[in-house]
Structure formats: structure tokens, C-alpha cells
Structure 1
Amino acid sequence: MTSVLVSGASIAGPTTAWWLARAGFDVTVVERADALRDEGQNIDVRGAAREVLRRMGLEDAALAHGTGEMGTVFLGAGGRELARFPASTDDTSGPTAELEILRGRLAQLLFEHTGDAVAHRFGDQVTALDQDPDGVDVTFLSGTQERYDLVVLADGVNSRSRELVLPDAPRRYLGMIIAYLTIPRTEEDTDWWRWYVAGRGRGVNLRPDDVGTTRAMLNLMTDVRGIDALDRTAQATLLRRAFAGAGWQTDRVLDALDDAPMYLEDLNQVHLDRWSVGRVVLTGDAAWCATPVSGIGTTLALSGAYTLAACLAAHDDHRAAFADYDARMRPFVEKGQSLPPGTPGLANPQTDLGRTLLGTALKLAASPVATKLGGIAGRFGTPPADQYELPSWR
């Protein structure tokens, strides 16, 4: 049996592992966290990725564990409603997909689905990769050394293991940070995603979940780099200063900065001209992060994992499999990373004029005429998640 080490137990990693195990590979997943991480915000599964879940027999379970989000409401000055977009009733369209689920919930479903077919090593991580023509010698943080035929790196945008084979991965910074928090739900909260356009490059988002809390996001346009590397106290101080006086329910979110579960990311895309080096291959955000504002990150993760496994199952030579994987996925990834002009600045305007223009555009997109005709309303907030044909499983 061909032995494969998969680094990362979020979305792309377990999906790759399940499909490889199904094809008869001997698969081990290593995850640096001590246990499966159940945190994370709302993610959507669209287009080709819905089909991956169908083929895994997980679509119904994922829908059953959805967040219940009814759609997206954009709010302007004073919390006044600008536009409302109901959740999609198909696989792909709209700002709120039909399948909205917490990242941790989907990761748990994928993990449980692998069962005994995949071995897991929690609380460890890859620290060295030494290749020869016949295999890869892997050194782990624990000091253990193992040899594998192939290694799959699926450990996220800030992948440490990627640096071992592709150091200084090119990135495109988008000029925005997002702070994600989980805060108590109140009677005023609804099952709609409420997006408050606060002005001065700021946005405040409140979204429902299925565990009785509310997921909050603070969007901030900024040219300052390294905020994600600051400690929690420094991040909270910066956010309080940036969002002071923003209005609506901003103070409620700021009040939770000290105690609520939170993580902050500096949005950047990963652009690599190759996704494999010898017997090591990348997938998911480690290979091609498109950022949350693309609306297609989870779709790329699931589709890429399936495609990589299908190509490895179809070819006896890993080099041919990796070339096939690249040829199939790269056009889809490039579409996903090609954000609409002005993204993310247009949705987080810096000026009063920009705020007014955004409100006008949103009202137009949600108008009865636009809804009846499709067009703008049908395309608004819709990533190209259905513009990929999954390979057949051989």
C-alpha cells in the first residue's frame, strides 16, 4: 500500500484522507492541535463542493447541522436597512448559501466519516521533510521520524510545513483585517446575517449559529501589516480605537473583546506557480488561499481535496497525478481568486460618498425588478463555485 501523510485536520485534510483511504492508500493525518478543533465561523459549501459531500454521503448531515441563516441584510447609517437578500435555494447563488455551517461542525463530520480507515496523530506537527526518489523522511516536533511514500500539506494559509518545501510563498495582501468573535445571543438577534456598513473602511457583522450564540465580525480596511501577530490585548486596543463611535451594535462587540473567543486574520491570498515539490503536494488554503471575501474558500478546499485524491487514484506515477491535479484545479482556483474590482474596499467604503454609492447599488440589486429579472440579484455575492467539473472516480 502507498503510504501518505496528510498534514492538517480542518477541511481539506480530512477530505483528502477519506478519499485516499477509499482508494486503498495507507493514510495518516497529523494535526498540531491536541484535539480536533471545533472553533470557527460560518462557512458556505457551494457548487462542486456540494457534489463532493454528496459523493461522500455527507450532504444531508451537513444540511441538518446548518446554522439556519435565512439570508443577508445590509444596514446603513443608524442601522437602517439598505437591502435584503434571502438565502439561496440552490447549490450556488447569493451571499447566503443554502448550506451554511460552522467550520468546526463540518470538520467534525469529516473527521467522524474517516472512522478507522485513517490513522490520526494529534498534538504533533511536521518539522522537517527530507526527500529522495523513493520516499519522504518526515521529522515531527515530538522527535519521531517516519517514512512515507507521499506527503500532502493541507494545513492552512499560514502553513509552517509549506515553508519547508516552498519558502517565501508569494502572497497578495488585500488591505483588510477581520476579527472573528463568538458572543452571547440576545433577544434582538435574528436568524439573518446582518452586515452594518459603518463607514471609514469598517464593517460590523452579526450572524446566527446553531449552538445558541452569535458570530460577530469586525472588518477594517488598513495598510498596516502585522496586526495578526500582536497579542490579544494589543489587538483589542487597536480595534476599540478603530471602531469607537461606529454606531449600531458595535459597542456590544467591542465590550466582548476581552473575554469572547476571538481570532484575527490579515487577509492575503497565496499564489504559487506550482503545488508540488517531488513527493510533497499542497492543497486547500496552503496551496491557494482565496480569503473569506471570495466566498469560495471551502468550495476550493473540498473540490481540491477530492481532485487530488482522484488523480492519485487514477495514476500509478505520482508525478503524472500531480500534473493532472494542477491542470484540472488551476483554472478553477484562478477564477476563485479573481475578486470583483475594488474588493474588499467597495463593501467597506472609506468615504461618505462611497457609503452612499454602495447603498444605492445594494438597493438596486435587491429591488423587485432586479429580482424578477434575475441578472444582478442572481449574481450578487455569487462566487464561481459551479464553474468546475469534478473528475470521475476510477
Structure 2
Amino acid sequence: MTPRSVLVSGAGVAGPTLAHWLARHGFRPTVVEKAQGLRSSGNPVDVRGPALPVAEAMGVLPQLRAAATSATAMRLLNATGREVARVRMSAGRGRTGHREVEVPRGDLAAVLHEAARDEAEFLFGDSITALRQDEHGVDVTFEQAAPRRFDFVIGADGLHSTVRHLAFGPERDFVRPTGILVATVPLGEPADHPHEVVVCNAPGRLVSVHPSRGEALAAFIFRRPDITAFDHRDTALHKRIVTASHAGLGWRVPHLLDRLQNTDDLYFDAVSIVDLPSWSRGRIALLGDAASCVSLLGDGSSLAIAGARALAAALAAHPTAPATALDRYEAAHRALVMPRQRGVRRSAALLVPATRLGLATRNLAARLLPAGP
């Protein structure tokens, strides 16, 4: 019997993980990625909770620990750069046992791609332009490759998912911005404090420098509820928004904004919640941020890894009953996702307090904590 074919859109975190588990279950996975290759940058994310047993079963925990960041503390500064609190981060995480691992997102994607590349076909520099399905499969039209037919198509292509747009409808129907924007830029140099994340806060604004792994990363996270839509391809606009929103902050912020102005590697987007009544339509389904974006404090990658294994297992358990397989995957994984979605506003209040009182309260709590997350 010919192995069932599955097209996965997106080669970030969820896509390669899903490809690996599909291959283990006897499927024939193909991963299509619009970028020419893997992204080399990205903010540090945690592999923790339900993702840890998945990474262990894939045999990639040693590689993740080798790529782990070295941050052991977080230093909180006020808008002028004066230290107001110092929080010890979880000791030894990512080094021994089954503790969580903090790793740059680009390194995480590279490790997961390495685990899947010999088991799946990867099509870089291409994207899906049309989907037409019937009860037996999905006909796919690509931007570059010749049209092909697959048994299933999975959208693991992020917040601005092409698969979701083609199969479910326009983004505005499902994506709810939280009023918080985020930008990250690699600094091209080591951090001044190689074992500390330094965070400068003002009401509604945060600027941080993370030592990452050798090359520091600057992040700008800020509240702008007035910005509800923007062109995701307009990098010049993104730079203007970040610069205007952080005017007047002290510390190293003017220098970091100069770096942002001169970078070719800027990530910018709105922190958003994706809310769909169903994650599947026929033989087309969604995974990771495409289905249920919740990411603000690093949970998104862990949930994507756990969801990928759950989806592959469901398809393997019900190979001739697509509706049953996809319904069971969604029911099981929604139970993990929904509490995180409900906690986004609380996370935002901790990370970027909107008022001076909120900021003072957060800083006081940080001073009283024996160890941070």
C-alpha cells in the first residue's frame, strides 16, 4: 500500500516536528516553505512542559541543551536605566535532567529540521497558491512547483497562515490583535552582560537585551491599541512605528533604535490571538500559531511541538477516517491551548504594565520573588 501523503506548509517549529512524526507513523510528508532557507535569527523561546517528552522521544534534547542560552538572571531597569529589581532565573535549566530549555528560535528550528530532513521532502522558496479538495484528497497549486495531489494538507505557517486564508477565509475573521506590538533585532555583537537579560520598562513600553547565544538580541514590546492593521511587508513603516513609540526612553534605547534603523533582519508583528471555531475543514487542518496563536511569554513553540505529535498520532490512529482523526487531535490539543489564550492579558500585565502603578507593583513583586520563570 502506498504511504499516505501529507503536505505541511511552514518549516518553522511545528512543520518539521510534524514531518518527523508523520514519517515515523508511515506517512510520506512534504514540507513547503516560502523562505529560501531556515531563518537564522529569532527571539529565545522555551521548550518546556508538554514539549519536553516530545523532544526527548525525537532524540533532540542533547542538541537543544547544547544550543541553550546562558541567561541566569533578569535585571529590571526603570526608564532612565536605574536598576529596580533583579530576578534569578531557573537555575540550571536546559543543562540537566528534564528542566525546560531556553534556545534561540532559529536554533530550535534548525535542530527540528535536522531531525526531519532525511524523512521528509522539503521545498524551500515556494508557497501554496490554491487548494481544491474532495472526499479523497487535496489538489494543490504551487507558486513554483508543478501541481500535486495529497491526502492531507496541514497549515503550520504561522499567524499569517496562507493555508488558513485559502481554506478558511480572510485573516480579519479569526485574528484578534491584543494591542501589543513586538519587534526584535539581532545586535551583531555580544551582550554587555553575558548571563543576564536586561529589561528597561516604562508604562506601556519594554526594551530588552538578551544575551542569547553569543550574539545579543534586542526586543521592543509595547502597547499601541491604535494600530490595528499594517502592511506586514513594509519594513520602513515598522521601523517608524517602533522608533516613534520609544521616543524619550533613556538607558541604551537611542543606541538600540539606531541599530534597528540600520538592520536588514527585523522581525515585527502584533501579538494576536487566533480564534477559530474549528481547526479543520475536510482534509485540511491547522497547527501551531496558524490554529491558535497564544505566544507572548514563549509558550507558542512548546505548544506547537506538542500539537504536532498529537496531530500525527491522531492521523495514524484513524487513517481512513479524516474527520475523526482531526476532531480528536483538536479536542486533545485545545485543552492545552485554551488556558494559555485566557492568560494572555495577565502575561501582558506582567511583561508590559500599562500604568505607573502597575509597573511599580510588578517591580515590587519581582523583588520579592526567590526565582523567576
TM-score (norm 1): 0.86
Query: Given that residues 50 and 91 in structure 1 are in contact (C-alpha distance below 8 angstroms), is that contact kept between their aligned partners in structure 2?
Result: no
Alpha-carbon deviations, 1:174-215, whole Å to 9, x = none?
A: 11111111113356333211111123x1111110122x3210
In the alignment, which residue of structure 1 is the partner of 2:207? 204
- Structure 1 counterpart of 2:360, one-letter code: T
- Whether 1:225 aligns to 2:237 is no
> Which residue is 2:60 aligned to?
58
Q: Which residue of 2 aligns with 1:391?
A: none
Alignment: residue pair count: 362
Q: 1:326 to 1:101 in 2, by over 3 A?
A: same
> What amino acid is aligned across from residue 262 of structure 1 in structure 2?
L
My pick for the range that moved more, 5-14 or 115-124, is 115-124
Query: Among 55, 68, 71, which residue is 1:69 paired with?
Result: 71
1:335: which partner in 2? 339
Within 5 Å, which residues of 2 pair with 1:79-118? 79-89=81-91, 98-118=100-120
**Counterpart for residue 19 of structure 1:** 21
Counterparts of 1:246 and 1:172 in 2: how far apart (Å)?
Answer: 29
Q: What is the aligned-residue RMSD (CA, Å)?
A: 2.0
Give the gaps of 5 or more residues in structure 2. none
Where does 1:1-394 land on structure 2 (aligned, <5 Å)?
1-89=3-91, 98-142=100-144, 144-168=146-170, 169-185=173-189, 188-199=192-203, 201-210=204-213, 212-223=214-225, 224-227=227-230, 229=232, 231-260=234-263, 261-293=265-297, 295-316=298-319, 317-339=321-343, 341-364=345-368, 366=369, 371=370, 381=373
Closer/same/farther in 2, CA of residues 187 and 65 from structure 1, 3 Å limit = closer
Q: Distance in 2 between matches of 1:244 and 1:62?
A: 37
Q: Is the 8 A contact 2:185 2:217 kept in 1?
A: yes
Q: Give 1:89 deviation, angstroms.
A: 4.4
How far 1:43 moved relative to its partner?
Answer: 0.9
| Cα drift, residue 231 of structure 1 | 2.4
State the Cα deviation string for residues 138-191 of structure 1 (Å, max 9, x = none): 011126210011111101010112111111342222111111111133563332
Distance 2:80 2:335 in 1: 42
Unmatched 5+ residue regions in structure 1?
372-376, 382-394
Provide the rounded CA distance (Å) in 1 between the counterparts of 2:344 and 2:292. 17
Once the 2 structures are TM-superposed, how far is the Cα of residue 327 of structure 1 from its aligned partner? 1.5
TM-score (norm: length of structure 2): 0.91
Contact 2:177 2:228 in 1 (8 A): no
Kindly, what percent of the aligned residue pairs are identical?
Answer: 37
Give me the whole-angstrom Cα distance separating, in 2, the residues matched to 1:179 and 1:20: 33
- 1:90 deviates by 7.7
Cα distance between partner residues in 1 of 2:282 and 2:153: 10
* Structure 1 range deviating more: 182-191 or 313-322: 182-191
* Secondary structure of the structure 2 residue equivalent to 1:184: coil
Q: CA deviation at 1:343?
A: 4.1
Report the Cα distance in structure 1 between the residues aligned to 2:191 and 2:136, rounded to whole angstroms. Answer: 61
Quick one: which amino acid aligns to residue 331 of structure 1?
A
What is the distance in 2 between the residues matched to 1:102 and 1:187? 15
Q: Distance in 2 between matches of 1:362 and 1:8?
A: 38
Deviation at 1:339, TM superposition (A): 1.2
Contact 2:80 2:249 in 1 (8 A): no
Give the direction of change, closer, same or farther, for the CA distance of 1:45–1:186 in structure 2 (3 Å limit). Answer: closer
The amino acid of 2:71's aligned partner reads E
CA pair 318-2 structure 1, distance change in 2 beyond 3 A: same
Aligned partners of 1:186, 1:116: CA distance in 2, in Å? 34
State the SS of the aligned residue for 2:162.
Answer: coil
Supply the distance in 1 between the matched residues of 2:92 and 2:194 (Cα, whole angstroms).
Answer: 22
- Give the AA of the match of 1:49: A
The answer as to whether partners of 2:296 and 2:348 remain within 8 angstroms in 1 is: no
Query: What secondary structure does 1:100 align onto?
Result: strand
Contact 2:16 2:112 in 1 (8 A): yes
Residues 356, 185 of structure 1: alpha-carbon distance in 2 compared, 3 angstrom cutoff:
same
**For the Cα contact (< 8 Å) 1:77–1:198, is it kept in 2?**
yes
